[in-house]
Amino acid sequence: MANALQQLADDLAARLARSVTVVTPEIEIICASAHFGDEDPARTAAVLRRVALPEVYRHIHGHDILRWQGPDHLRAAPDLGFKRRYAVPLRERGTVLGILMVIDDPSDPLDAAQRAQIAQASTTATELLALEADAEQPRHDARARLLSDLLGTDPQRYARALRQVRSELINDQETVLVLAFRLLGAPSTRAGAALRAGFKDLGHREPTRLLPLVSGEHATLLAVFAEPPDQAAVRGLADRAARAVSDRLDGGECVVGMPQCGVPLDAVRDARRQALSAADAAALLPTLPRVSSFGELGSYPLLLAWPRDQLDDFIPPPLRTLLAADGPLAETLRTYLDTAGSIPETTRRLALHRTSLYYRLSRLREALGCDPADPGVREGLQLGVRADEIQRATGHSDKPWNSAPRYSTGCGWCGAGQRPRMEGTPS
């Protein structure tokens, strides 16, 4: 099939005396003719890499080409080294199987006879791609079902999938890194293509074996290592995967969740659960890194799994009032907690003199009725601050402070705190 498409592209290019390319919807090269002196840097780079550069991908999909019902022009983009192209979506039963592109510079435009030749070649190319898709689709669907069952919750399907994956794809000596992807704010019609394009580009450049499972704006990627990777290798791959997808988004962003480490095959379900939890946290909370590790989330997974309307249990009234004011004291408390009570690091992050920080901490003790320097109290305050952050992100922070649970002493995490005196609070 590939030989037939290549021959078709070569014959058409020779008749037109122009460069011809056939690509997938992810702008991965299927076949490309020889250059005819009209090639541009974008084409040269795509042929060498086998996929278009991310900025060229965004330019092409910015035309919404997958919705075209017939041939049209892709505008030139001189800053990308991209000449104008005459492009034909190769559509079969409503699905774009590929795109045939011919460089069509306005200084030497295609004439009607040449366009007719392109139309004829496009019909043949569509037929060839449809035959290939009919042959490949069952295998593709079976792989997707297999991975879905391996990562799913049905015990019988999981057991069958584990046996099959172990015999066909991943052996017990290999290590699997599970990454969960979420696309935020990206057009839903382009989300899947951006994910698949990013994974294909990554697959051309990574030594690890990649097994993607894409579903709409979500995806899971299994990266298979022959040897257990160290943390630097795990983080590096996650960062490169996030960048490969993000670079193809024209609007929106990609967040990635990762487990604490790579795992053997029989632990991938647990690792995926961790990755999904980290991805959900990063998608919800803009303060977290776009690539987040479950092992670095602290109490966030616990709080995110907690019923939203019960998060008040973690936020006593004095803390709710302090956070609602969102002033310098709230900023100081958040920073102090994030640095695990480190005075030098807190002063550095806030650009404060140490004396000024001590003054603010004394005001925090007075406002909260407990001492943030106490490790146990600090842990409870961190839970409260993060619970408040989740409530704000999910629109559950509209309750007045005095409707929160009442505590008999101080802030609720120390047994002998001084109860703060505030308006609306009994003395």
Backbone phi, psi, residue 264, to 5°: -70, 165
Q: What is the reported pLDDT for 65?
A: 94
Helices 112-151 + 2-16 axis angle, to 10: 150
Q: What is the DSSP letter of 75?
A: P
Q: What is the reported pLDDT for 252?
A: 84
Is the C-alpha dihedral spanning 38, 40, 45, 50 positive or negative?
Answer: negative
Helix, strand or coil, per DSSP, at residue 11: helix
Q: Which pLDDT tens digit goes with each residue over 186-237?
A: 777 788 889 999 999 999 889 899 999 998 889 999 999 999 999 999 999 9
Beta partners for residue 89, in sequence order? 99
Is the C-alpha dihedral spanning 350, 354, 360, 365 positive or negative?
Answer: positive
Query: What would the two tokens of residue 70 be?
Result: 């017939």
Could you give the CA distance from residue 417 to residue 369 in angstroms, rounded to a whole number? 5
Beta partners for residue 23, in sequence order? 29, 99
Query: What would the two tokens of residue 108 be?
Result: 């030497």
Could you give the CA distance from residue 164 to residue 253 in angstroms, rounded to a whole number? 35
Could you give the CA distance from residue 251 to residue 339 in angstroms, rounded to a whole number? 33
Going by C-beta distance under 8 Å and a sequence separation of 6 or more, which residues neighbour residue 318?
367, 368, 369, 410, 411, 420, 422
Q: What is the reported pLDDT for 293?
A: 94
Q: What is the reported pLDDT for 416?
A: 36
Judge contact between 80 and 56, C-beta under 8 A.
Answer: yes
Judge contact between 342 and 352, C-beta under 8 A.
Answer: no
Q: What is the reported pLDDT for 412?
A: 53
In whole angstroms, how large is the CA radius of gyration of the chain? 28
Buried b (16+ CB within 10 A) or exposed e, 88-102: bbbbeeeebbbbbbb
Judge contact between 126 and 91, C-beta under 8 A.
Answer: yes
Residue owning tokens 């409530």: 391
Q: What is the pLDDT along the chain (427 residues), one digit of tens a residue?
A: 568 999 999 999 999 999 999 999 999 999 999 999 999 999 999 999 899 999 999 999 999 999 999 999 999 999 999 999 999 999 998 899 999 999 999 999 999 999 999 999 999 999 999 999 888 889 999 999 999 999 999 999 999 999 999 999 999 999 999 999 999 887 777 888 899 999 999 998 898 999 999 988 899 999 999 999 999 999 999 999 999 999 998 888 899 999 989 999 999 999 999 999 999 999 988 889 999 999 988 888 889 888 888 888 899 899 999 998 889 999 999 999 989 999 999 999 999 999 999 999 999 999 999 999 999 999 999 999 999 999 888 876 554 333 333 233 345 554 433 333 333 333 2
Q: What is the reported pLDDT for 421?
A: 34
Count, residues in the chain: 427
Judge contact between 248 and 197, C-beta under 8 A.
Answer: yes
Helix, strand or coil, per DSSP, at residue 212: strand
Helix, strand or coil, per DSSP, at residue 95: strand
Beta partners for residue 31, in sequence order? 22
Judge contact between 177 and 229, C-beta under 8 A.
Answer: yes
Judge contact between 46 and 82, C-beta under 8 A.
Answer: no
In this structure, which amino acid lies at residue 215?
S
Q: What is the reported pLDDT for 77?
A: 96
With 0-12 / 13-18 / 19 or more C-beta atoms within 10 angstroms meaning exposed / middle / buried, residue 197 is buried
Alpha helices in 30-154 (DSSP H): 41-49, 54-61, 112-151
Q: What is the reported pLDDT for 322?
A: 92
Buried b (16+ CB within 10 A) or exposed e, 44-71: eebbeebbbbbbbbbbbbeeebbeeeee
Helix, strand or coil, per DSSP, at residue 105: coil
Q: What is the reported pLDDT for 240?
A: 95
Q: Which helix (H) or strand (E) holds 178?
A: strand 175-184
HSE at residue 154, side-chain half, CA atoms within 13 A, is: 10
In order, the DSSP letters of 370-420 are S-TTSHHHHHHHHHHHHHHHHHHHHT---S-GGGSPP-SSTTSSSTTPPPP
Q: What is the reported pLDDT for 301?
A: 87
Query: What would the two tokens of residue 387 be?
Result: 């619970």
Nearest to 46 by CA among 23, 63, 25, 65: 23
Query: What would the two tokens of residue 41 be?
Result: 């840097």
Q: Which pLDDT tens digit goes with each residue over 383-402?
A: 999 999 998 888 765 543 33
Is the C-alpha dihedral spanning 261, 265, 266, 268 positive or negative?
Answer: positive
Q: What is the reported pLDDT for 394?
A: 81
Q: What is the reported pLDDT for 136?
A: 87
